[in-house]
Each structure stands twice: as C-alpha cells, then as structure tokens.
Structure 1
Amino acid sequence: MRSRFTRNQDAVNVDLTPMIDMVFILLIFFLVTASFNKMNAIDIQRPDGSTNDSQDAVALVISIDPQNGVWLEGEPIDIRKLRSRVKSLSGGEHTSVMLNADRSVNTGRLIEVLDQVRLAGVNNVAVATAGQ
C-alpha cells in the first residue's frame, strides 16, 4: 500500500547569523568593560580639580598609590625602569598617558614620574582628578 503522505526529504536549515552577531556583540562588550577596569585596579583617592580634561584615547595609565609606589598598567614598577618601559609601550608622539595619583602623594614623587614620562618622549600627559 502506498501512503498518501509524502515526507519532505529536505534538511532543516538553521540560520546561525543572529547567534554569531550576538557573540560578537558580547565580545565587544567584555573588551570595552575590561579596559575600564584597569584604571580602577588600585585604590586611589584622586585630588579635586576645577577642570577636567576629557581624553578620548588613553594609551597608558600610570598610578601612584598612597605609599608613593608607582604602577604601570596595574603592575608595580621601579621608578628607574619607568622611562624605558613607557618608551617601549608608547606608540610614538601620539601616545597619551594618564597619571592617576592619590591625593596624599607628595608633589616631588608626582614630578619625578611626570619627568620620566616626558623623557620617554610622551608629551600628552594628564593628571586624573575626582571632578566636581
């Protein structure tokens, strides 16, 4: 006996494009949020400032903790090695550096770090403040 119902032999196709789009969106989200976390990795009380410079692309973050310890990209570094390390990480004259110093840091230490950054060839240096 022959059945009057015929089976459709075509395979079911599943479109994976929306899933791939979502994976890329999640990947971009995690990359962006991870870059914000590196600036806040060290507990720093920023000094107050009346003006804030907005920087679009901060290439390097240098932090100075309350004990006058220097941190480059979240890792401790000796002040004597700071110039060579910044020079090796910088992308030329278009590199910018954000100095993230605690309010209790003595001014001499801040100037030392600033001098080492400028001697490394970076002229675009800003000091982060708490804002208003």
Structure 2
Amino acid sequence: MARRKHTDEGQEADVDMTPMLDIVFILLIFFIVTTSFIKEEGLLVNKPKAKNNPSEVNAPSVVVQIAETGQLKFNGKLVDIERLSARIESFLSENQTDSAVVIAHHDATHEMVVRVIDNIKPFEQLTISIGK
C-alpha cells in the first residue's frame, strides 16, 4: 500500500507585515508627539583673545577671586562686595588695563559670581573673563 503525502505545494506560509508596520508607525507618532524639546538658556561668556604686543601682556589686570565662603579678594587683598566697584575705579585711575578676570572657587555660589560680574559691568573698557 502506497502512502500519499499530504502536501499542498500551492499553499505557503505567508506572514502579513501590515499590522506590525501600523503598530510601529503608531508608536513613532506617539513618541514624536509626547517628546518635549526644552531650549536651555545659558550665560554668554566671551573668552579673552591672545595679545601679541609684549607691553600689553605685562599690563596689570583686575583680578577678583571668590572663595567658597563668599569672601572676595581684589588683586590679592580682601574687599567687601559693596566696596568692589570703588576699588576697581581707583585701580583704573592708576593703571591702564582692559581686562578683568573673575576666579571663582568651585563651591562658590552662582549668586556671588553674578554680583561680582554686575559690579564690573559698569566699567565698559573692561573685558570680563572667567578664570579657573
């Protein structure tokens, strides 16, 4: 007795990809719609440019150091935030300079750094740089 094979060569197993593509596109649309893009605001910092003139390199500059406790040093001497602009003014009357460097300790508050920069800003001839 011969056995018959029950194979239908006309029917192959096909997988319909349309529902899977629909789900992928729905997920894509969902993630695009729910993603929020936040524009972060920052502080614009102008980096100082290198000076080629040797006389300008040796010119004294305004250096304000901020300690972690909030104490200020103006060119190495302690000063209060209220007296900082007066010290800068007297320094500029004696010396010709166009640069000011603010060196903040990494634990100093941002508020103190901004207050120091705000005290230097009225002197338009000074270029403010952030030091490390």
TM-score for the superposition, normalised by structure 2: 0.51
Could you say if the C-alpha distance between residues 123 and 52 of structure 1 is closer, same or farther in structure 2, counting changes exceeding 3 Å? closer
Could you say if the C-alpha distance between residues 96 and 78 of structure 1 is closer, same or farther in structure 2, counting changes exceeding 3 Å? same
Alignment-derived partner of residue 22 in structure 2: none
Question: Larger RCO: Structure 1 or Structure 2 (Cα < 8 Å, ≥ 6 residues apart)?
Answer: 1
Could you say if the C-alpha distance between residues 94 and 120 of structure 1 is closer, same or farther in structure 2, counting changes exceeding 3 Å? same
Uncovered stretches (5+) of structure 1, i.e. residues with no partner: 1-50
1:74 to 73, 76, 82: 76
Uncovered stretches (5+) of structure 2, i.e. residues with no partner: 1-45, 52-56
Deviations 1:20-45 (A, max 9, x none): xxxxxxxxxxxxxxxxxxxxxxxxxx
Deviations 1:94-123 (A, max 9, x none): 521111111111111000000101124443
**Root-mean-square deviation (Å):** 2.6
DSSP-derived class of the 2:103 partner: strand
Quote the Cα distance in structure 1 between the aligned partners of 2:47 and 2:98: 19
DSSP-derived class of the 1:108 partner: helix
Could you say if the C-alpha distance between residues 58 and 99 of structure 1 is closer, same or farther in structure 2, counting changes exceeding 3 Å? farther
Work out whether residues 61 and 97 of structure 2, in 8 Å CA contact, stay in contact via their aligned partners in 1.
Answer: no
Give the Å deviation of 1:93: 8.2
Work out whether residues 60 and 96 of structure 2, in 8 Å CA contact, stay in contact via their aligned partners in 1.
Answer: no
